[in-house]
Structure 1
Amino acid sequence: MRGAVSIAVFIAIAIVLAWLVALPLWLGEGLSSPLAGNLLVAMMFTPTIAALVVVFFIEKPEHKARALGLVPLKPVGRLIGYLAIALILPIVLCVLALAVGALLGVFPADFLHFRGFEQITRMQLAEVGITELPMPIDVLVVLQFVNLIIAALFINIIPALGEEIGWRGWLLPKLLRFGPWPAIQLSGLIWGLWHAPVILLGYNYPGTPGWLALIAMVVFCTIMGGLFGWLRLRGGSVWPAALAHSSLNASATLFFLFIAANSSFDPLEANITGWSGWIIPLILLILVVSFGKFKPQAVSRKENP
């Protein structure tokens, strides 16, 4: 009973705080507001606030850092291995999502010559009075991947951790009592609906009816949240999930590199946020659960605090 109360309080705090943070957007200019970027980042910390309230004022466990998923950080080899997977996997999935979208005809791709990226880059340079590319387009593409990794490791990681301490650090282990698939589905539903304040304003799915965009976000969060959950459980702490979330946020814009010139696409259909982008992550998640890997890694006595 106490566990159900904790979960209910956590969900209520996270969702209410998210709406409060986003309220200025609803009362003002929406996502075009100059405050939008800062408010979106601030909203990402609301799940951690909710988890801290529950852990420190309701549950009061002896090992609070463990309850939040911040420890253990050993064995170090296992942690490093899952951190490496967490960094690379979202990048691979985002690129594969674009490839699947191209095969299915919903993403206009140019994987060889990067004409769309070149077009976008030239337009951006022209705005500051530069008429020539500073280096070959192939080199610029490579540099974008370097920037992506830097962003994942050092820039996006803090706000991503702000979400993951709540979703995968605290909530997911609480839901595992219902079994792997219910835990994945429930946590995905909660995480997806938590995005409602910005999804209904057009975030991620501009031009899509709000109800449909919210359904798409729930599906997306269920699939990707399941993979983040696997990294959290097998890695032993929330850090791999946080890095994967950070890497995904950085990688979701890779479509700029591979889109064909003079083209556009519907984010409901293509990219990692669209239905064609869910196919490979869903297959991977099904394999993870089917092979019994969606559970905590066995912990030896030496690893106990």
Structure 2
Amino acid sequence: MSQGKVSLTKEVSLYLLLTFSFSSIFYYWISVSDNGWLTFGLMWCPGVASIITYLLINKTIKGFYFGFGKISYLFISFFIPIVSLIIVYGAIWVTELGSFKGFESNFMTKLSFIPMMLLILEGSFYSGRSALGEEIGWRGYLTPRLLENYTPNQVSLFVGIIWSVWHFPLILTGNYGTGSPIFFQLFCFTLMLTGNTYIYTWFRIKSGSLWTGCFIHTSHNLFIFHVFNDLTKSNEITPYFIDETGAIFAIYGLILILAFQRFGWDWPSGLKRHITHMSPSRVNRH
């Protein structure tokens, strides 16, 4: 097969078929076992499927954008999830949907600066080796391939929904999420992940590299599961608002979707122009 003889629809369909077929094996074993290597294998299914798809069609793996691109975006991308988590969990703590337990309650934040930084580096390595498998598929292959024919908004919405659905079996089997009702978790998770996909796409476009997606993914998984959840003391309603399947992150995701749809992709200058246009001083001059 060659890329010129295969439509984008057929190519993406093949990729998704391979991704979900490989993943189904791990969905089952994860549901009956708590072996951490099974999660690692699952997270590499999108990447392996993308490489096979690309080899079948192009006879090469060139085009996955393994270069680092603009280095500054790599550093920024790692800190973006931390800012997002501070906003989301800060809202939970302030509104007392869950309370802040203090930095001493987490094994990482209770350390002094240098040991904490070393632990973050170690955690990033273990989180990153799993995240890379997904990002080779979602941002190395699928996103840039779709961007050849569709707008960033369309691509982000499509990839975000597909990426969310890919997680659904884990939520349905109780291996992901909190103690809130399943359909509530599915709805909130989809909004959260789809909204965050817009950020992944923005960095993918600006940096020209799949590594920004890997850094965002690594940082998010490391800090939400191993830091911010530990820092939060739950009450009877907290499961409805905390974590990736909670309402606060869903609201945050919806805001991201609406913001990108409204202000476009020329951030932050596009937003700055909009604010300047709406400022009272500018209005008074007309």
TM-score (norm. length: structure 1): 0.74
In the alignment, which of 66, 74, 83 is matched to residue 83 of structure 1?
Answer: 74
Structure 1 residue 165 and structure 2 residue 136: aligned? yes
Question: Does the 8 A contact of 2:198 with 2:256 survive in 1?
Answer: no
In the alignment, which of 111, 121, 124 is matched to residue 140 of structure 1?
Answer: 111
d(CA) in 2 for partners of 1:259, 1:147: 23
d(CA) in 2 for partners of 1:138, 1:252: 13
The C-alpha deviation readout for 1:107-139, integer Å capped at 9, x for no partner, is 2224xx447x17xx7xxxxxxxxxxxxxxx974
The C-alpha deviation readout for 1:178-231, integer Å capped at 9, x for no partner, is 322221111011001111221111233233333332233222221122211211
SS of structure 2 residue aligned to 1:155: helix
d(CA) in 1 for partners of 2:209, 2:201: 10
| Matched letter for residue 109 of structure 1 | F
For structure 2, the 5+ residue unaligned runs are 1-5, 268-286
Identity across matched positions, percent:
25
Kindly report which structure 2 residues correspond to 1:86-235, keeping only aligned pairs within 5 A, or say none.
Answer: 86-110=77-101, 113-114=102-103, 117=105, 139-140=110-111, 146=117, 149-151=120-122, 153-176=124-147, 177-235=149-207
d(CA) in 2 for partners of 1:91, 1:143: 19
Partner of 1:270: 242
Superposed displacement of residue 264, structure 1: 6.7
The C-alpha deviation readout for 1:15-71, integer Å capped at 9, x for no partner, is 121111221234x3xxxx342x1111110000011101110002446xx332x2323
Partner of 2:232: 259
Call closer, same or farther: CA 1:190–1:138 in 2, change over 3 Å. Answer: closer
d(CA) in 1 for partners of 2:240, 2:198: 20
| Matched letter for residue 70 of structure 1 | F
Structure 1 residue 49 and structure 2 residue 45: aligned? no
Question: Does the 8 A contact of 2:188 with 2:244 survive in 1?
Answer: no
Call closer, same or farther: CA 1:149–1:25 in 2, change over 3 Å. Answer: closer
d(CA) in 2 for partners of 1:283, 1:216: 13
| Matched letter for residue 158 of structure 2 | L
Partner of 1:133: none
SS of structure 1 residue aligned to 2:209: coil
* More deviation, 14-23/279-288: 279-288
d(CA) in 1 for partners of 2:11, 2:224: 33
Superposed displacement of residue 257, structure 1: 4.8
Superposed displacement of residue 147, structure 1: 5.5
Superposed displacement of residue 278, structure 1: 4.0
Call closer, same or farther: CA 1:83–1:149 in 2, change over 3 Å. Answer: farther
Partner of 2:9: 4
d(CA) in 1 for partners of 2:182, 2:229: 25
Equivalenced residue count is 259
Superposed displacement of residue 142, structure 1: 5.2
Cα RMSD, aligned residues only:
2.8
d(CA) in 2 for partners of 1:139, 1:49: 38
Call closer, same or farther: CA 1:204–1:293 in 2, change over 3 Å. Answer: farther
| Matched letter for residue 237 of structure 1 | S
Superposed displacement of residue 282, structure 1: 4.8
d(CA) in 1 for partners of 2:239, 2:144: 31
| Matched letter for residue 121 of structure 2 | I
Question: Does the 8 A contact of 1:188 with 1:218 survive in 2?
Answer: yes
Structure 1 residue 293 and structure 2 residue 284: aligned? no
Call closer, same or farther: CA 1:270–1:143 in 2, change over 3 Å. Answer: farther
SS of structure 1 residue aligned to 2:97: coil
